[in-house]
Amino acid sequence: MTRGNDLQSRFYTSFDGSALMSFVQKLVGLSEEERRGLDSFLGEGFHFQSFEYKAPSLPMAVNLAKSSFLRQGDVALSRWKKAMEIARTMEQVSLIPPMEIISGKNYLAVVMPKGDVLPRNRERKIDDLLRDTAKALSQVGLALDDYPQLREALGVPFIIDWSDLNFVT
């Protein structure tokens, strides 16, 4: 089994939809400011706040969309979800981690493995994989309009920030 497949299978073995749903619901019940004080808070960007979910055999990151991301409205959000659905099922492409989206009327979360920062020297070696990933995405009409943020889990590098995934028009 390759390392990528190992990450994939560990992710799905550990993925418990209803436990994750109640984790997400607890977050949704708090304000963005209140969530920053949680022990599970990992960090945030412009569009997402990230929280650690300690699944049995693989720590996960639950990336909850902030109001700045939800504000773009239903049409843009369902386009983004459609784009994510295509990207996340391209399992053979390296740098795309196993991901699941949990969403409802007023919330949206992306669940993926929790990743560690890559050492600088390893980041440089990833240029080819970044190029392959961009090419694979473009072949299905997608582009990630952002400098890809990389992390790794079980020795497998992957992109964590998918907020700027778009259809190429």
Ligand X SMILES: Nc1ncnc2c1ncn2[C@@H]1O[C@H](COP(=O)(O)OP(=O)(O)OP(=O)(O)O)[C@@H](O)[C@H]1O
Residue 161 near Mg ion by CB under 5 A: yes
Residue 47 near ligand X by CB under 6 A: yes
Shortest distance in whole angstroms from residue 54 CB to ligand X? 13
159: which strand partners?
Answer: 150
Q: Which does 115 bind (CB under 5 to 8 A by kind): ligand X, Mg ion, none?
A: ligand X
Using CA atoms, how far residue 135 sits from 79, 132, 143, 144, 156, in Å, is: 20, 5, 9, 11, 19
Give me the amino acid identity at 154: L
**Which pair of tokens denotes residue 106?**
């007023």
Quick one: which of 151, 152, 157, 165 contacts ligand X (CB under 6 A)?
A: 151
* 3-class DSSP assignment, residue 157: strand
**Which pair of tokens denotes residue 14?**
């550990």
Binding mask 109-128 for ligand X (x = CB under 6 A): ---x-xx-------------
Q: Which is nearer to ligand X, 10 or 139 (CB)?
A: 10
Residue 133 near ligand X by CB under 6 A: no
